[in-house]
Structure 1
Amino acid sequence: MKQFLAVRKSSELIWCGNFYFDFHDRGISSIVRRCIEKETGQEFAVKIIDISGEKSDIYEADLTKRDTVREINILKMCNGHDNIIELHDSFETPTFIFLVFELCKQGELFDYLTQVVTLSEKRTRIIMKQLIEAVEFIHSKNIVHRDLKPENILLDDNLNVKVSDFGFATVLGEDDELTELCGTPGYLAPEVLAVSMYDNVPGYRMEVDMWACGVIMYTLLCGAPPFWHRKQMQMLRMIMQANYTFGSPEWDDVSQTAKDLISNLLVVNPKERLSAKQALESPFFKRELKPPKQFFPRRTFRALVICVRFFHRLKFFYYNPPPIPVETIKTNPYGVKNFRKLIDSCTFKMYGHWVKKGDNQNRAALFEHVQREDWRNQVSFDNS
């Protein structure tokens, strides 16, 4: 047990145990801040959880403490994986519990996605492979996360994935089934909604994490979530029916293997949904290995000449791109990939402040470029 020394306080820093804490604004029950280890000067991130009961009743404070202890135990079970946040230290005072994590300076995947709007298939392949490998690891420990989303995925200095926030995570027994409704609405699996809506419905297990992975992958490639509606009940109905589309033009340039992987993850029946191990065997993550070829000098020289000519011509067309017809720009500018990227980037620069953390509703609204049927009916009614 550490000796806690919380006796000196400056305008911005207090120190406790072996760490200095950057103690600016506090949240209702917890807050994440930067901290510095006094002995080494190394920076970490600290999650400070209020268990005093001053901002809530005693029962909720005790419940928060029990949940935090469970989270600490699960984090210790997951210690050592490259793509799971590392718990460096933890200690408790009469009013707070401190969880000291490795510092991921690139922040959340959600913020990164807001900056770049959409990700390429190459970058998506790297992120999703690391994410699913982390999910496979925690599932091998019989742990279900239950709250996978871009806000709970951190990026280190090299943009490597670090799965974090195990507050809803729990350890399952061999025959255990969960019935609690917890998580984020846009990432909830159909079986989670079903068990909360209907009687005599079996509970859910670790398959809910794979559904969330499908939603995340869709969002990375498209820029908007697959299930979205202004009315939340309508959105939940879309989730229950797996009602999503690979619309044009956003998905025109995406490979079929990527679409197939998403389709096999967003399956209503959890027994038919891909597991983490099966998902990693998807063609989306594999590259075919070609057999070694014999060396033919004359053929190789001829191929090099063709390559030089090709790249020379490619360079010419790069600096002298073919003109885009004016009619195309007038009728469907969003159908041209370069214009689409420009429009989306400008939209996020102008209205990016609408997109709050965890609010996929506003994010999806920025991508809604087709007039909806209920709006058309409303306009027709007003005109009449």
Structure 2
Amino acid sequence: MAKEEDDDNLPDKDAAKEFYAKYEPKEIIGRGISSTVRRCIEKDSGREYAAKIIDLSQESQDGVDTHTMRDATRQEIHILRMVAGHPYIIELQDVFESETFIFLVFELCKNGELFDYLTSVVTLSEKKTRYIMRQVLEGVRYVHSKSIVHRDLKPENILLDDQLNVKITDFGFAKVLKDGEKLFELCGTPGYLAPETLKANMFDDAPGYSMEVDVWACGVIMFTLLVGCPPFWHRKQMVMLRNIMEGKYSFTSPEWADISEDPKDLIRRLLVVEPNVRIDLEEALSHPFFNTVAIKSSGFNARGKLRLALLCVRAAVRLRRLPHTAARAVPLRDALRDPYTMRALRKVIDGCAFRVYGHWVKKGEGQNRAALFENMPKTELKSLYVSNLSR
């Protein structure tokens, strides 16, 4: 293995001889509390993979002891092998375990996390949201078919391959359920927790929760993809948790004005507080939002041909008028007064904001994309961005 000058967190070669004999680690592509993810190359085939190197030599920063971490990792490995082979679930290629390190070798997803992709594009169109959400729902359906609940679905735990296909990952909180079993542990990420998960932690007589929590999380993800921020987030966590318990969210922000009714209806059905009434995955995948209309050719159609010709003429006329239309642009004073009501400006503003402050809008309980515009009134902050852009 070639020596890298300022490499840290690189384990001793003697700790996992088999790993180093088979793979050549390259640059770091991710870090966790007690782990490092490196791109690596299989020596025999030249194929690229991602190696997650888990350090068991000392307690992690959150106080988890070595034995607990090892057991949790083995449980995750067991679940990953149970769900292996599905196109929308991350593939575990190899496992190497020593006294101080565990090496998990996964397929490499070069487009990284859905979270980072969303940050770069701000929001997704209905077409792209349909493409991603269909894959997410199909992947989760397969996980559930194995009697497994994921419990931590979020954009950070969804990777994208070269063709932007979904790969569900991070099964650290996943659990295999027995028939009729209910869970009561509070785990996951606050903004994506289902109401029944919170109730199980807050009330002694709560009935617990099951696989429906993943369906709720899918609703939160879909909402976030369409408008760039999650439905329940609030800088005061108690307010956010109350919003989740009450299922309190809305489609009133300007971003929703350009979105059709079908995705809104599916979100309403996914984000139902009562799990027994919440739409299931089969129903969700059959929702009109995922329906595509096939255009069938039925031979010559005189009326259709005439309509097409008229549309071509109208398009030509509009193209001829385009320079005159462009001359009557929106006055700068109107753009500065209320920029966020204009779709084109809204995309520019959000795009610039996320690029400038992307280093701050990172993962975690206290920070997320929704927090970016919460430090001052939206109109004041966004007008400030436009003013800076016009300089």
TM-score (structure 2 length as normaliser) = 0.86
Which of 124, 128, 134 is the equivalent residue of 1:123?
128
**Compared CA separation, residues 181 and 97, structure 1 to 2 (3 A):** same
State the distance in 2 between where 1:303 and 1:243 align: 46
Alignment of 1:217-256 (within 5 A): 217-256=222-261
**Compared CA separation, residues 159 and 323, structure 1 to 2 (3 A):** same
Gaps of 5+ in 2: 14-18, 379-391
C-alpha offsets along residues 25-71 of structure 1, whole Å, 9 cap, x if unaligned?
97542221111111111110011112234657997211111111111
Amino acid at match of 2:80: L
Contact 1:34 1:44 in 2 (8 A): yes
Contact 2:56 2:69 in 1 (8 A): yes
Matched position secondary structure for 2:86: coil
- After TM superposition, the structure 1 stretch with the greater mean CA deviation from structure 2, 168-177 or 361-370, is 361-370
Which of 257, 264, 267 is the equivalent residue of 1:262?
267
Alignment of 1:138-149 (within 5 A): 138-149=143-154
Contact 2:148 2:174 in 1 (8 A): yes
Matched position secondary structure for 2:201: helix
Aligned to 1:304: 308
Aligned to 2:24: 20
State the distance in 2 between where 1:111 and 1:163 align: 15
State the distance in 2 between where 1:368 and 1:318 align: 39
By how many angstroms is 1:358 displaced?
3.4
C-alpha offsets along residues 292-322 of structure 1, whole Å, 9 cap, x if unaligned?
64523x4344233213213323434655445
Alignment of 1:208-357 (within 5 A): 208-289=213-294, 293=298, 295-296=300-301, 298-316=302-320, 320-321=325-326, 323-324=329-330, 328-357=334-363
Matched position secondary structure for 1:91: strand
Aligned to 1:199: 204
Contact 1:229 1:361 in 2 (8 A): no
State the distance in 2 between where 1:80 and 1:227 align: 34
Contact 1:177 1:205 in 2 (8 A): yes
Matched position secondary structure for 1:126: helix
- How much is the aligned-residue C-alpha RMSD, in angstroms? 2.5
**Compared CA separation, residues 134 and 364, structure 1 to 2 (3 A):** same
State the distance in 1 between where 2:72 and 2:201 align: 21
State the distance in 1 between where 2:62 and 2:306 align: 79
Alignment of 1:143-182 (within 5 A): 143-182=148-187
- After TM superposition, the structure 1 stretch with the greater mean CA deviation from structure 2, 57-66 or 252-261, is 57-66
Amino acid at match of 1:38: K
**Compared CA separation, residues 339 and 232, structure 1 to 2 (3 A):** same
Contact 1:225 1:360 in 2 (8 A): no
Matched position secondary structure for 2:255: coil
Matched position secondary structure for 1:200: coil
Identity %: 55
Gaps of 5+ in 1: 1-7, 373-384
Amino acid at match of 1:140: S
Matched position secondary structure for 2:355: helix
Alignment of 1:70-89 (within 5 A): 70-89=75-94
Aligned length: 364
Matched position secondary structure for 2:102: strand
Amino acid at match of 1:202: P
- After TM superposition, the structure 1 stretch with the greater mean CA deviation from structure 2, 9-18 or 80-89, is 9-18
By how many angstroms is 1:21 displaced?
1.9
- After TM superposition, the structure 1 stretch with the greater mean CA deviation from structure 2, 188-197 or 15-24, is 15-24
Matched position secondary structure for 2:257: coil
1:10 aligned to 2:18? no
State the distance in 2 between where 1:272 and 1:57 align: 37
Aligned to 1:365: 371
C-alpha offsets along residues 226-249 of structure 1, whole Å, 9 cap, x if unaligned?
111111111111111111111231
State the distance in 2 between where 1:265 and 1:145 align: 16
Amino acid at match of 1:253: D
State the distance in 1 between where 2:254 and 2:62 align: 52
Aligned to 1:376: none
Contact 1:177 1:204 in 2 (8 A): yes
**Compared CA separation, residues 198 and 284, structure 1 to 2 (3 A):** same
- After TM superposition, the structure 1 stretch with the greater mean CA deviation from structure 2, 65-74 or 314-323, is 314-323
